[in-house]
Chains A and B, each alone.
Chain A
Amino acid sequence: EVQLLESGGGLVQPGGSLRLSCAASGFTFSNYAMTWVRQAPGKGLEWVSTLSGSSDYTYYADSVKGRFTVSRDNSKNTLYLQMNSLRAEDTGIYYCARDTSAGDCWDYWGQGTLVTVSS
């Protein structure tokens, strides 16, 4: 059974940093690109970043480019999101999701971790 479990969320001040983790199990992690998607409170979904299975390509939304860094450790079956220079508008639930083999959408999602940026 595919499982994705996010952790690392919490309350952080504007300008601060946070690192999220996503522990994966139930599939060969290194064979799949992985993605972070976020959702502001009461709002819709926003794609954040995608990282290929072998970490040879990354993509970022313009809203986080230069501030967020996605990475993975295939030996630990874990995906990360390093978030720096956080802003109030980064507040929301952060989901990790597994890309389909075509890489165009996401077939498994974690339950999310809440990030709150506030003073």
Chain B
Amino acid sequence: EIVLTQSPGTLSLSPGERATLSCRASQSVSSAYLAWYQQKPGQAPRLLLFAASSRATDIPDRFSGSGSGTDFTLTISRLEPEDFAVYYCQQYGSHGHTFGQGTKLEIK
């Protein structure tokens, strides 16, 4: 099973700043099968990016993704108040799907 490790566990930033979230895989992941989700308290997860860098429907262009192999990054260029949430990466492989443990993005 591929293990995804996200860092940092918590990221404290201010609105307007740039956020960089990391997702590292225990073995190589196809970029086609790496996704990112946002989850706010009391809500279901929301798909942000699929295939590592493609934005889902209605996702603002301040969200971007990059990476390949074992290292992937979610970048939020200029934080808006509504962006403070928990973010998960997820991969799909031969043994099913796995998620990272999440990065909490909190207001500094």
Q: How many residues of B contact A (CB 8 A)?
A: 24
Q: What mask results when residues 32 to 72 of chain B are scored 1 for a CB within 8 Å of chain A, else 0? A: 11010101000111110011000011000000000000000
Contact B32 A107 (CB under 8 A): no
Contacts of B88 in A (CB 8 A): 44-45
Contact A95 B45 (CB under 8 A): yes
Contacts of A50 in B (CB 8 A): 96-97
- Give the CA-CA distance A110 to B32 in the complex, in Å: 24
With both chains docked as a complex, state the minimum distance between the C-beta of B57 and any C-beta of chain A, in angstroms: 7
Q: At the interface with chain A, which of B11-19, B75-83, B99-107?
A: B99-107
Output the nearest chain A residue to B6 by Cβ-Cβ distance: A44
- Give the CA-CA distance A74 to B59 in the complex, in Å: 30
- Chain A to chain B: the 10 pairs with minimum beta-carbon distance, closest first: A105-B35, A109-B44, A47-B97, A104-B92, A45-B99, A104-B33, A44-B102, A44-B101, A105-B50, A107-B47
